[in-house]
Structure 1
């Protein structure tokens, strides 16, 4: 579960970075648009994210034009829509996962004492029941339901932390593993803090071998041939897509 724990920590730690990036101007996509945009199809769910961003952009443009009929040309939304889409998707997935897991592993609060108990015993039992119901380790279905909080709550469950919980079932272990990996990948991709590898559709001009491009994490893209010649291209020499 070490990898899953790392994924959940990544989401919690970098959530404020997403919030900061939401209102800033992006530096572009990877691979660089205009030269290698076709390779975005090789990245998981890139098409889905781009389509969602386009829908947000179109909706914003329509609202802006409705307010100002004299506006001509493209408009810039006040927020980075791709970042907003990432945050909405990740938060929804984590909160829904926490809801599902809590419904199975979270023990119901201790009941209050029957009225037939002696007053002193009833007072002690009721005090314990109130404390149990208010246990801050419990997942709540109202109130604080944010991505970082859900990530840390799921992390505690993966690490078998103490609290009013039973053991995770294997199916919920698998659910957390899959959701955490996908969510962390989306966060890293949105912030460009993860290394990426994509296979190019263009063949090597020297030997006809397959080309791969490596980049991300703020580094410029580097392409290399996986065939016989092993040629490497960097910077302006990186092969472009026709």
Structure 2
């Protein structure tokens, strides 16, 4: 369900279940977490095989959940999203086609979301009497702002790539999202990793400022200008 290849300084991770629009069950989520944990490249490029990026959680799994197993399944999805978010390198989601529910949540955990003009996005959980529980309730407002996050989550409506770009859900619209992963792989890898750590640092401002100064000094000392 998850296919991975190393291509130079880019680790390509492909959700490979096109017949189910790359919907994720427990096995796929565990495979994805293990793949990211094992990666060492400065850039991960996450994509979907076929006509969708990811349709989110496999509904055949969701329909069989009870209270206890629902908590377990949500925790597994949250762990995958946190693994993507905390990867020591840049993670680029290349979105070509549909991203729905948990697929949007995985993309939100990536550092950059790069879409083709054909991409579409929706947080569809509310239409099923549910909501995204893989960290989306925290990440979506942080990425697009509370107003757009409420609109997307409460309505479950689908937005196209241009609308996603306007609200900041995606960073760029390009014909080939992989090209952005290659662009990041071409920069200084130490600086890339250090910059991500600082931008993801959620400590208080004083501590964050101290860490930023220390990281900058470390890069300067190692730089060859």
Give the TM-score category using the shorter length. Answer: under 0.3
TM-score computed with the length of structure 1 as normaliser = 0.24
Greater share of strand: 2
Which one has the largest radius of gyration? 1
